[in-house]
Amino acid sequence: MITVEEARALLFDLVAPLPAETTQLSEASGRILAKDVEATRDQPPFAASSMDGYAVKSTEVELHAMFKVVGEAAAGQRFDGTVGPGQAVRIFTGAPVPDGADFVVIQEDVDRRGDLITITDGPGAKANIRPAGVDFTIGARISAPRLLRPEDVALMAAMNIASVPVTRKPVVALISTGNELVMPGEMPGPDQIIASNTFGLKALLEQNGAHVRVLPIAQDTVTSLETAFDLAQGADLVVTIGGASVGEYDLVADVSEGVGLERSFYKIRMRPGKPLMAGRLGDAAMVGLPGNPVSAMVCGYLFLVPMVRRMLRIDQVLPPLQRARLIAPLAENGGREHYMRAIVNHDGIRACDNQDSALLSVLAQANALLVRQPHDPARTTGDEVTYLPIQ
Amino acid sequence: MITVEEARALLFDLVAPLPAETTQLSEASGRILAKDVEATRDQPPFAASSMDGYAVKSTEVELHAMFKVVGEAAAGQRFDGTVGPGQAVRIFTGAPVPDGADFVVIQEDVDRRGDLITITDGPGAKANIRPAGVDFTIGARISAPRLLRPEDVALMAAMNIASVPVTRKPVVALISTGNELVMPGEMPGPDQIIASNTFGLKALLEQNGAHVRVLPIAQDTVTSLETAFDLAQGADLVVTIGGASVGEYDLVADVSEGVGLERSFYKIRMRPGKPLMAGRLGDAAMVGLPGNPVSAMVCGYLFLVPMVRRMLRIDQVLPPLQRARLIAPLAENGGREHYMRAIVNHDGIRACDNQDSALLSVLAQANALLVRQPHDPARTTGDEVTYLPIQ
């Protein structure tokens, strides 16, 4: 069996950064910029007033100076003439500063009567003009890769970049396996339960930038599994859930090899989630997750999300591990790396009482996975431990 | 002028929590649960084996004990008979434990020859059975309001909750105003610039759970603005951008009152973003943002996101303020609360050099708003300051 770290490295060998596609600017937030983009213009494209006031020559600005107002410059509508000596142009925020003027006296500092203004308050040294290109100039670049935030979208809008090259979303096909499963909303038979893993994983992976296809539940037969693998074609990552253990009904390993899986590894020295297999299946990566719901979700955080982020070209494949102090002791850990469901708050961190990997009710209360190394000794209250946030 | 805190309180008076609507489980992640939901079944619905092995009577379990295998129980297909003395049933993970059995010997601990098994390793005390209802029982409740995470979606799936009552998304109508504006992808005239605020705000508000309608740019005329307000009907929150200052072309205040605005306040003692107005417009809240792009985005973080979250019934309307140490000094602050664009990293926090509220290039580099109180004295490197994260 291999470690979590080794498994992740092997999984990364199964995926590659995806190519770019073009999206509309209005849909670009949260996507990954795939190629550098450049401003197609200067911003502002002209020297612009930053205040409402009067555009004049700076050499003429002094207390009690008088000017004749000869025109008006509004945002979107410049004054076409030139400001001469003793002249002023009424100007509004964002308007082009007219030729001949290099100073804007704010309107609060003047007294206007008809076409005449007088400076009534000391106008100070600030010209209240934004030079052309002060925000950015043609060719200013936003470098890829970059997770695009709302601020980047606003900046690209100002740069007049209407179409944005972004990394294509990884397509993940999810296959739940097992005769015991029915979909939510159906009426389960007495021996059946509701498929939950695909729904949790779909939400988790979509939240991390994937496009998820939930395939029909595969029964525990060769034919049903083969059909599922066939339906998964075109995905970048095929994920089976359940059927990857050693029971006689665990057909995933056999069938996936039958349809061409080149296996990378089988089993990881971790809890929960030991039975996990992976390999290359044609053009796709394939991962077989254990069927216990908590194991599947934890493997989603530790392996699937990093694979998705790798395909998206995001450097930070996992959120950084955090540290907190225990507010309850921990028994010695066994021989496998353990990701314990835990609750962290201002007071510290506490592992949930029941670590059974079937308990979704416990997972839904947890907001952290407390990470323990193999054979980590017993820990007491106050000891510092590491955890992966899952909220 | 009022403070940021006072403004937010008045803005909250303009909005109310929105009613519930129903969404499909597969779309519920990231939404706010609006009503308590209850499990419609027990999980597991029967005592279930947690391992692959053999179901027997616990009183008969001891090293070297022999059993006759009389049947098989698989996940989804129980064994219909009863396990008698000296009998065992082959059982797989997730299968119902048959009547008469209360212990599962794992397959690694037995030697099987034909229909006979012998316990070859000490089976320990663990019965390897999950009791019925150990995860949850009928009526187990998820309490509203709650921001639904992937784990909650998995849990609701297991509870067979296929439709989920969630708070309706607030509908926000965004109106950019100004003759100088054209949309991205268009060819601006020599006096024009590209509308950027609506794109940045749309991304920000959608990221926070709103449904955003971007309306056509309103020209600086009464008719154009009236048309825009008319198009905004049906929105929960109408946001104008620009035209809220005191220039003669700033018609928003006049026109909004003409169409029925009951004004709540006008101007906040803050930078950037002083000219900000708000009120009640029919069934909607209305907020008039300043037109400078950075001001508009900062007001988005400080006011619009909290209003959206309030309508969604999210308790935490703002991310908690963080603390960091300055890695560069700050001059004394003026009389207004100041939200400075800043960059925070492991070394500390530094305000960006140019705080002009027109510079989107600076905002796109920032990942924090450094919060300064009115008349905050000059600060030196190493002083602790507060900031609002904006990444």
Residue B247: the pLDDT is 62
Q: Are residues A173 and A232 in the same domain?
A: yes
Residue A362 lies in a domain: yes
Token reading at A147? 């997770």
Residue B25: the pLDDT is 98
* Whether the predicted pLDDT of A294 surpasses 80: yes
Residue B1: the pLDDT is 85
Q: Are residues A88 and A121 in the same domain?
A: yes
* Whether the predicted pLDDT of A65 surpasses 70: yes
Residue B244: the pLDDT is 57
Cβ-Cβ contacts under 8 Å between A and B: the total is 285
Closest chain A residue to B128 measured between Cα atoms?
A: A356
Residues A19-43, mean pLDDT to the nearest whole number = 97
ipTM above 0.90, yes or no: yes
Confidence band, pLDDT 50/70/90 cuts, at residue B122: confident
- Digit-coded pLDDT (tens) for B68-118: 999 999 999 999 999 999 999 999 989 999 999 999 999 999 999 999 999
Q: Are residues A121 and A219 in the same domain?
A: no
Total count of domains within chain B: 4
Q: Are residues B53 and B163 in the same domain?
A: no
- Which residues of B are less than 8 Å from A185 in CB distance? 25, 160, 162-163
Q: What is the CATH number of the domain that holds A156?
A: 3.90.105.10
Q: What is the CATH number of the domain that holds B365?
A: 2.40.340.10
8 Å CB contact of B159 and A194: yes
Residue B281 lies in a domain: yes
Q: Which among A107, A154, A199 has CB closest to B25?
A: A199
> Cβ neighbours of residue B226 under 8 Å, at least 6 residues apart?
B255, B258, B259
Confidence band, pLDDT 50/70/90 cuts, at residue B344: very high
Residue B121 lies in a domain: yes
- Digit-coded pLDDT (tens) for A131-177: 999 999 999 999 999 999 999 999 999 999 999 999 999 999 999 99
Q: Are residues B235 and B217 in the same domain?
A: yes
- Digit-coded pLDDT (tens) for A92-106: 989 999 999 999 999
- Which residues of A are less than 8 Å from B172 in CB distance? none
Closest chain A residue to B181 measured between Cα atoms?
A: A76
Q: Are residues A217 and A279 in the same domain?
A: yes
> Of B256, B287, B311, which residue sits at a domain end?
B311
Q: Are residues A53 and A159 in the same domain?
A: no
Average pLDDT taken over every residue of chain A: 94
Residues A192-218, mean pLDDT to the nearest whole number = 96
CA distance B14 to B284: 8
Confidence band, pLDDT 50/70/90 cuts, at residue B194: very high
Residue A304: the pLDDT is 98
Residue B246: the pLDDT is 55
8 Å CB contact of B184 and A359: no
Token reading at B35? 């009503």
8 Å CB contact of B161 and A150: no
- Domain span including residue A163: 20-43+135-167
CA distance B120 to chain A (A): 19
Cβ–Cβ contacts within 10 Å for residue B316, how many? 9
CA distances from A60 to A56, A92, A105, A135, B326 (A): 7, 20, 11, 29, 42
8 Å CB contact of A361 and B160: no
Residues A365-386, mean pLDDT to the nearest whole number = 97
Residue A74 lies in a domain: yes
Residue B69 lies in a domain: yes
Q: Are residues B124 and B244 in the same domain?
A: no
- Residue A231 has phi, psi (to 5 degrees) of -65, -25
8 Å CB contact of A363 and B45: no
- Which residues of A are less than 8 Å from B194 in CB distance? 41, 157-160
Q: Are residues B269 and B206 in the same domain?
A: yes
Residue A317 lies in a domain: no
Q: Are residues B125 and B159 in the same domain?
A: no
Q: Which residues pair with A372 in a beta bridge?
A: A338
Q: Are residues B193 and B293 in the same domain?
A: yes
Residue A346: the pLDDT is 94
CA distance A59 to chain B (A): 25
- Cα–Cα nearest to A43, from B127, B363, B226: B363
Percent of residues, chain A, with pLDDT higher than 90: 90
Residue type at A174 in one-letter notation: L
For B56, how many CA atoms within 13 A lie in the half-sphere containing its CB?
28
Residue A274: the pLDDT is 72
Q: Which of B80, B199, B215 to mutate to test the interface with A (most CBs of A within 10 A)?
A: B199
- Which residues of A are less than 8 Å from B246 in CB distance? 52, 107
Q: Which of A112, A147, A180, A205 to mutate to test the interface with B (most CBs of B within 10 A)?
A: A180
- Which residues of B are less than 8 Å from A161 in CB distance? 184
Residue type at B303 in one-letter notation: F
- Digit-coded pLDDT (tens) for B296-313: 999 999 999 999 999 999
- Which residues of B are less than 8 Å from A207 in CB distance? 29-30, 150
CA distance B90 to chain A (A): 10
CA distance B343 to B101: 64
DSSP A98-116: PBT--EEEEGGGEEEETTE
8 Å CB contact of A157 and B196: yes
CA distance A199 to chain B (A): 6
- Digit-coded pLDDT (tens) for B131-165: 999 999 999 999 999 999 999 999 999 999 999 99
Q: Which among B29, B94, B246 has CB closest to A180?
A: B94
* Whether the predicted pLDDT of B341 surpasses 80: yes
CA distance A320 to B188: 44
8 Å CB contact of A203 and B149: yes
Residue A243: the pLDDT is 76
Residue A258 lies in a domain: yes
CA distance A263 to A254: 11
> Of B249, B280, B311, which residue sits at a domain end?
B311
Residue A249: the pLDDT is 62
> Of B144, B167, B190, which residue sits at a domain end?
B167
Q: Which residue intervals of chain B are DSSP H helices?
A: 4-13, 150-158, 197-207, 222-231, 252-258, 293-299, 305-311, 360-365
Q: Are residues B344 and B375 in the same domain?
A: yes
Q: What is the CATH number of the domain that holds B280?
A: 3.40.980.10
- Which residues of A are less than 8 Å from B390 in CB distance? 151
Residue A382 lies in a domain: yes
- Which residues of A are less than 8 Å from B185 in CB distance? 25, 160, 162-163
Q: What is the CATH number of the domain that holds B56?
A: 2.170.190.11
